[in-house]
Structure 1
Amino acid sequence: MKRKKTARLVAALAMSAAMLSACATERSGEAVTGATGGGANGDSQTSASRGSFGTLESPCGEGDATGATDQGVSDTEIKIGYGDDRGYAQSPGLNKEMSDAVSAMIDWCNDQGGINGRKIVGTDYDAAMTQANTVMQEACASQFMMVGHGFAMDQTAEQTRVACNMAAVPGFTVSPDAASGPMTYQGVPFPVDYANGAAWFQMAKMHPDLLNDFDLVGSTMPTIITSLAKTRSMAEAAGFKLKDCGVTLNYQGEPSYVAFAEKYKECGVKGLWTSRSPVPNEFNFFKAVNQVGIDPIIFGEATWYGNSAQTFNKESGILDNLNADMTFQMLENADKVPAVQKYVDLVAEKGGKTALLGMQSTSSFLLWATAAKECGSDLTRQCMIDELSQIHEWDGGGLHAVTDPGKNMPATCGLMVSLKGAEYTQAFPSTSGEFECNDEYLIKTDPSTWGTELGPDRVSTKYLNPNVIKPKA
């Protein structure tokens, strides 16, 4: 009995982490059909491995940096850790695209001479969902920094990370304490106190006649409940008056979803927002919605941009009204966005997996490398914190909308994709490869939804200690 309860707990945490990382990132654990390697002119990795990364001048190259300036740094090497949860037994290969991306970027950088002449030596960790703290303990003993990683249960490792002053530039964070933690900077920040509400404003422009006809798909999972509270505030800021149809789905699934679908039909719903990922239970729910005779606009996070949704819709057509919001470029836009093409080329050349989380890790690696270059011979964690805190406009060379890593602030831009059959296209704005931006899309969230207490510098106070490295004025 105890073993079954533990398994259910891990499964619940996994689902929670997947949902939260969908919010915190442009999460997609799968390659999207149609994303292929090879540049527009058939370039190989050899020609793609030098020079700029999209609009970003490469931070990598030869140099004369010297000195054993910090743990993991020598005259010739910089040791960094990275990783994912690919060894999780219930979802083999989970987020493997993150390690594939960092590995490819390390090779790309070292081919150019490393960082100021120091070679990057990476250690690829597998947290396997439940081993994040063990991984962090190992990293604390040898690595200079953690870069481009993403551990679904990062809350179990955060105290260890902060205690050993392991500065980090993660690909994504999940827990509130990690998302707004000390010594942490992300290419695409997801702080607890601000949110990018672009998707709801864009949906209002796409369907102005449905402002009174949307509802949120409720759940029994506490983390989804918290997420929905934030979602409701963003929707209301965009002018939606959401219905309250009283539907709550068990996160472990229901024997039948027909009664819930009937309730939405009686409520007059014409649009549904889901915080769930495209998993079998969610597909069964939308099958029931279709069965009772309603055909709502379906609206979800970037996790719905992935192969499982493509495969399901190719067979059923039930998701032809699907819209997913993104702050990253689509992989299908590689021919229009050089940074996306560069990412695809570098990872595909090594036989890796390309997906949105891989681009997110790529952005964070480039952010780390950009700061490391500026530190020169004085490559210390203190210098890295100082440099990272001063980077206020960042788009990973064009991989995503502009963010402010230095202040841990999200983008104020977005784009919407839609699914028809098995094909994704950009639905808004109308020009592929372009984002739509507006300062009003930045929404301050209610403190009751934060999940942690922030200090005056907007950093989580939970694990702070006197030795934490802070930016120097």
Structure 2
Amino acid sequence: MLYRKTVRGAALVALLALTVPACATDRGGSDAVPGNAAGDSATAAEKFGTLDSPCGEGDAKGATDKGVTDTAIRIGYGDDRGFSQSPGLNKEMGDAVEALVDWCNKQGGINGRKVVGNLHDAAMTQANTAMQDACRSDFMLVGHGFAYDGAAEQTRIACKLPMVPGFTVSPHVANAPMSYQAMPFPADYVNTGIWHNAVKLYPELKKGLAVVNHTSPALVSANAKSVEGWKSAGVKPLDCGVTLNYAGESSYVPFAEKYKSCGAGGLWNSRSATPSQFNLLQAVDQVGLDPVLFFEATWYTDAVAKWNTAGLADKLHVGMQYQPFENASEVPAVKAYTELVTAKGGKTSLLGMQAASSFLLWATAAKECGSELTRQCVVDELSAVHEWTGGGLHAATDPGANLPSECVVVLRLTKNTWKQAHPAEAGEFDCDDSYLFRLSKKNWGTELNKDRISTEFLTDDVIEPQA
């Protein structure tokens, strides 16, 4: 079903129900939404937002596949929490899966089989080691996110391990075989809703939007995709001749001057919020430039809001497909997610929401397989899911076809507060099928076959959906 109008995110119907991905942020700490644990609610074991719980008692039996017994289903999950330079990196993803596993098991598991979670810490540089461990024992990988996922992909395909990741990074993982995401982030399609809304809110940006370039190859690729997407919204990007050193600059004033002399009325930045990027905004203010800012969703954080006391980022906008934490009172799924995770002492974030939605997607598919729980059956079920909202955690996506959402919600920062800027009513998304844009082949970053599957490590021996 294609949505061509503004729709209420909390009411999107789930039929069965991101880089760093486009939606990944650390917004919403463990105290983001107060309340009792979701387990205290009489209906918590039956619903997750608008989604009927896939968990419950049953009489499923049989050792039907690796990781499956009469009484248990062993799934792998994980993050980069052990990375020494950033302890706890992406830990909120593991926190989300752990909370959802506990929630599910309290209801009886999946058709009576308890879910056993096997944590894999990729520690940024150990993704392949983590994948080797998963290949030895796990039924499937669920809700995980490894920054260097590309390093582990050949191993995963070789052991025929299906996955429902929380996010993907490498283009050949984004369009991988045996993989279905709750929030698809494929190499060949992008959601351009943020750009269409940018020019609706600020028509002058059609000729005044400049990109903040960096020396990082990953950011060069991300910006190339963004700039191509701009054109679908009628934006003619400004080339101000600015490329920033990823490691930082001694002074950002000369670059801010270039943006000013170039006539930049707006800036797009695909890099996450870091001290160096705060320095750039300070330099922009110092030279008297006051641009509209449309930055990657990773800027949607408490840290950015706390930093903005002086109002230097008061024109900062981000576009997302997930419901912001500020809408918890309007969106039961956001409240449920937050309460489940905080009840176990975990950290909440949009990354965590992505992991939670992926777990729910996997569990919904696994439930349909009953006693005959096999990897093939779950892949078949996942491939048939063409509308998914995670119970209202995010806008509708098409996991079965690996297509992103056609919706967006735009947030704006004012001083220390994030607020929904568009649509006007909290809890709603702006959805239009024209926002789904197919990138040119030069920007895919990988070779795709006729089924849009990356050929990087593809073999003839993978689990494919069967009718």
State the TM-score, normalized to the length of structure 2: 0.94
Query: Does structure 2 conserve the Cα–Cα contact (< 8 Å) formed by 1:29 and 1:94?
Result: no
2:331 paired residue number: 337
Higher helix content, 1 or 2: 1
Q: 1:95 aligns with which of 67, 78, 90?
A: 90
1:320 paired residue number: 314
Q: 1:469 aligns with which of 454, 463, 467?
A: 463
1:16 paired residue number: none
1:38 paired residue number: 35
How far has the Cα of 1:22 moved from its partner?
3.4
2:233 paired residue number: 238
1:269–1:365 distance in 2 versus 1, CA, 3 Å = same
1:169 paired residue number: 164
Letter of the structure 1 residue corresponding to residue 456 of structure 2 = K
Structure 1 Cα separation of the partners of residues 275 and 302 of structure 2:
13
Structure 2 Cα separation of the partners of residues 278 and 94 of structure 1:
15
1:130-141 mapped onto 2 (5 Å cutoff): 130-141=125-136
Q: How many residues align?
A: 450
Query: Does structure 1 conserve the Cα–Cα contact (< 8 Å) formed by 2:38 and 2:44?
Result: no
Query: Does structure 1 conserve the Cα–Cα contact (< 8 Å) formed by 2:30 and 2:347?
Result: no
Letter of the structure 2 residue corresponding to residue 232 of structure 1 = V
Structure 2 Cα separation of the partners of residues 413 and 100 of structure 1:
27
1:378 paired residue number: 372
Structure 2 Cα separation of the partners of residues 358 and 434 of structure 1:
21
Letter of the structure 1 residue corresponding to residue 371 of structure 2 = S
1:21 paired residue number: 20
Query: Does structure 2 conserve the Cα–Cα contact (< 8 Å) formed by 1:417 and 1:427?
Result: yes
The one-character-per-residue Cα deviations of 1:352-401 (angstroms, maximum 9, x if unpaired) are: 10110000000000000000000111110000110000000001000001
Q: 1:113 aligns with which of 91, 108, 111?
A: 108
1:223 paired residue number: 218
1:468–1:409 distance in 2 versus 1, CA, 3 Å = same
Residues 1:355 and 2:349 are matched in the alignment: yes
2:47 paired residue number: 52
Q: Which runs of 5+ in 1 are unaligned?
A: 1-18
Runs of 4+ in 1 over 6 A off after TM superposition: none
Residues 1:61 and 2:56 are matched in the alignment: yes
Letter of the structure 2 residue corresponding to residue 154 of structure 1 = D
1:9 paired residue number: none
How far has the Cα of 1:48 moved from its partner?
6.0
Residues 1:149 and 2:144 are matched in the alignment: yes
1:452–1:332 distance in 2 versus 1, CA, 3 Å = same
Letter of the structure 2 residue corresponding to residue 220 of structure 1 = T
Q: Which sits farther off after the overlay, 133-142 or 205-214?
A: 205-214
Structure 1 Cα separation of the partners of residues 62 and 122 of structure 2:
32
RMSD, matched Cα: 1.4
Structure 2 Cα separation of the partners of residues 206 and 166 of structure 1:
45
Letter of the structure 2 residue corresponding to residue 457 of structure 1 = D
Structure 1 Cα separation of the partners of residues 30 and 152 of structure 2:
34
1:176-325 mapped onto 2 (5 Å cutoff): 176-314=171-309, 316-325=310-319
Q: Which sits farther off after the overlay, 226-235 or 138-147?
A: 226-235
How far has the Cα of 1:449 moved from its partner?
1.1
How far has the Cα of 1:462 moved from its partner?
1.3
Query: Does structure 2 conserve the Cα–Cα contact (< 8 Å) formed by 1:49 and 1:111?
Result: no
Query: Does structure 2 conserve the Cα–Cα contact (< 8 Å) formed by 1:257 and 1:284?
Result: yes
The one-character-per-residue Cα deviations of 1:124-156 (angstroms, maximum 9, x if unpaired) are: 111110111000000100000000000000011
Residues 1:84 and 2:79 are matched in the alignment: yes
Greater RCO (Cα-Cα under 8 Å, separation 6 or more) = 2
Structure 1 Cα separation of the partners of residues 30 and 291 of structure 2:
25
2:124 paired residue number: 129
The SS at the match of 1:339 is helix
Structure 1 Cα separation of the partners of residues 59 and 461 of structure 2:
31
The SS at the match of 1:141 is helix
How far has the Cα of 1:30 moved from its partner?
4.8
The SS at the match of 2:409 is strand
Query: Does structure 2 conserve the Cα–Cα contact (< 8 Å) formed by 1:301 and 1:324?
Result: yes
1:434-445 mapped onto 2 (5 Å cutoff): 434-445=428-439
1:233–1:164 distance in 2 versus 1, CA, 3 Å = same
The one-character-per-residue Cα deviations of 1:171-192 (angstroms, maximum 9, x if unpaired) are: 0000011110000000000111
How far has the Cα of 1:32 moved from its partner?
5.0
The one-character-per-residue Cα deviations of 1:87-116 (angstroms, maximum 9, x if unpaired) are: 111111111110110000000000110000
State the TM-score, normalized to the length of structure 1: 0.93
How far has the Cα of 1:75 moved from its partner?
0.5
Letter of the structure 1 residue corresponding to residue 328 of structure 2 = A
How far has the Cα of 1:210 moved from its partner?
2.5
How far has the Cα of 1:49 moved from its partner?
3.7
The one-character-per-residue Cα deviations of 1:244-293 (angstroms, maximum 9, x if unpaired) are: 11111111111111000000010111100000101011111111111101
Query: Does structure 2 conserve the Cα–Cα contact (< 8 Å) formed by 1:48 and 1:345?
Result: no
Query: Does structure 2 conserve the Cα–Cα contact (< 8 Å) formed by 1:70 and 1:381?
Result: yes
The SS at the match of 1:122 is strand
Residues 1:457 and 2:451 are matched in the alignment: yes
Q: Which runs of 5+ in 2 are unaligned?
A: 1-17
Structure 2 Cα separation of the partners of residues 359 and 186 of structure 1:
12
